[in-house]
Amino acid sequence: MMKLGVVGGGAWGTALAQVAAGGGESVTLWVLEDEVATSINADHVNALYLNGISLSPAIRATRELADLATCDALLVVTPAQHLRSVLAGLPIFNTPLILCAKGIEAGTGLLMTQVAAEAKPDAPIAVLSGPTFAHEVAAGLPTAITLACADAVLGQRIAERIARPGFRPYLSDDLIGAEIGGAVKNVLAIACGVAEGAGLGQNARAALISRGFAEMTRFGLARGARIETLAGLSGLGDLVLTCSSTSSRNFTLGKGLGEGMSASALLAHRRTVAEGAFTAPVLRDVARDAGVEMPIVEGVCALLEGKVSVSEMIDALLARPLRPE
C-alpha cells in the first residue's frame, strides 16, 4: 500500500487527506497553522478551513515538513503562489509529487509542473485536477477527477490508491492540459461571478462559459495541451462547476465585483484563496507574449486592477468586432 502524505491543510488538502484515509490508512497532513494541527489531532476537524466535516482519525496533522520524508508519494495542495517555497523546504528528492494547486506562478509565468521541476528536478510529477468542491469530496459525494501522469505505471498506482466508491480518478498523460484547465477556469469564474453580481442574466453566463472555453482552448493548444483534456473533467468540467456556484471562491469574488465592490476590499484580510485573482494578470501577460487572444481574461484583469468599471468591462466585450465562432 502506497504511503501518502499531504502538503497543505486548507480545504482541499484536508479533503484529499480524508480521501486518502478513506480505507483506514494512516495519512500525514502538513499544515501551516498551529490551530489547524491542534484542531485536527485533538478533535478530528479542520475548524478553520473545512468546518462541519468529521475527519478520519487516521489523519495525523504535523507542522514539520520532515515528517513527510518517509512517504511514498505526496499530494501537494498549497496555493499556487506558495508551491515553490513549500517544495524548497521539503526534505525529499525523488518522491513522486501529485500537484493539486490551480494557478500560474506570478513573476515567472510558470505552470505548477514547471515550478515543481525546478524545485525538485528528480521527483516524478503528476497533476490531479477537476470539478471538485472540497466540502463535497470530504462528505463523500460522487466526484470524478483527472489524474495526469507521464509514467503510466505510477499513474495507475496512484489512481488505485486514491480511488474510492465516490471518488473516481480518470487517467491521462497530458499534464499540461490538466493543469491549464484548472488555472484558467478560475479567472473565467471571476467573470461569470461579475455577470451574476451585475444581474446580467443566464444567457450572459452561458456566453461567458462558451467564449471562455474558447480562450482556454486557444491558450492550452498554444502551450501543447490536448483538446480532449481541455474538453474533459479538468477543463470544461471544472469551468462549468466553478462558473455556476457561489460555493466557488472565484465566482463569489467576481459576484462582489459585479455588485460594485473593489477588488482590494474583497481581497483584504481573506484567509481562503481565490486563485484567479493571482493568476489573472500573469495569465494575461503570458497569453499576450504567446500571441493568444483572451479578451475575457483581459477584462477580468482590468476590473481587478480598478482600470475599468463593471459596465465598461462588459461594454468592451460586447463591442468587439463580429467574427466567426
Ligand X SMILES: O=P(O)(O)OC[C@H](O)CO
Does an H or E element contain 248, and which?
A: none
Of residues 244-303, which lie at the interface with ligand X (CB under 6 A)?
Answer: 248-250, 275
| Residue 143 interacts with, from ligand NAD, ligand X, none (CB under 5-8 Å by kind) | none
Cβ 138 to ligand NAD, closest distance in Å? Answer: 9
Cβ 34 to ligand NAD, closest distance in Å? Answer: 11
Q: Pairing mode, if any, of strands 97-99 and 73-76?
A: parallel
Q: In what order do the strands lie in the sheet with 167-172?
A: 59-62, 27-30, 4-7, 73-76, 97-99, 125-129, 143-149, 167-172
Determine the straight-line distance between the first and last CA of the chain, rounded to whole angstroms: 49
Task: Tell me: is residue 248 an annotated ligand-binding position.
Answer: yes
Q: Angle formed by the axes of helices 310-318 and 175-197, to 10°?
A: 120
Cβ 244 to ligand X, closest distance in Å? Answer: 11
Catalytic position from the list 3, 120, 185, 307: 185
* Residue 46 binding ligand X, by CB under 6 A: no
Q: Are the C-beta atoms of 75 and 6 separated by less than 8 Å?
A: yes
Stretch that binds ligand X, among 13-21, 128-136, 222-230, 316-324 (CB under 6 A): 128-136
Pick between residue 123 and residue 283 the one whose CB is nearest to ligand X: 283
d(C-alpha 60, C-alpha 41), whole Å: 6
Task: Tell me: is residue 13 an annotated ligand-binding position.
Answer: yes
Task: Tell me: is residue 256 an annotated ligand-binding position.
Answer: no
For ligand NAD, the binding residues (CB under 6 A) are 8-13, 32-33, 49, 77-80, 82, 86, 100-103, 132-134, 272-273, 275
Q: Which of 241, 277, 282, 301 binds ligand X (CB under 6 A)?
A: 241
Task: Tell me: is residue 273 an annotated ligand-binding position.
Answer: yes
Among residues 185, 172, 193, 245, the alpha carbon closest in space to that of 216 is found at: 185
| Residue 13 interacts with, from ligand NAD, ligand X, none (CB under 5-8 Å by kind) | ligand NAD
Cβ 7 to ligand NAD, closest distance in Å? Answer: 9
Pull the grid cell for residue 245.
456556484
| Residue 131 interacts with, from ligand NAD, ligand X, none (CB under 5-8 Å by kind) | ligand X
Quote the DSSP letter at residue 66.
G
Task: Compute the half-sphere exposure of residue 65: CA atoms within 13 Å on the CB side of its CA.
Answer: 14
Does an H or E element contain 97, and which?
A: strand 97-99
Task: Tell me: is residue 15 an annotated ligand-binding position.
Answer: no
**Amino acid type, 45:** V
Task: Tell me: is residue 130 an annotated ligand-binding position.
Answer: yes
Task: Tell me: is residue 170 an annotated ligand-binding position.
Answer: no
Beta strands in 125-278 (DSSP E): 125-129, 143-149, 167-172
- State the Cα torsion 35-36-42-47 to the nearest 10°: 100
- State the Cα torsion 84-89-91-93 to the nearest 10°: 20
Cβ 132 to ligand X, closest distance in Å? Answer: 5
Catalytic residue list contains 120: no
Kindly list the residues in this chain that would bind ligand X in the complex (CB under 6 A).
102, 131-133, 186, 189, 238, 241-242, 248-250, 275
**Residues at the annotated binding site for NAD(+)?**
8-13, 134, 249
Active site residues: 185
**Residues at the annotated binding site for sn-glycerol 3-phosphate?**
102, 130, 132, 185, 238, 248-250
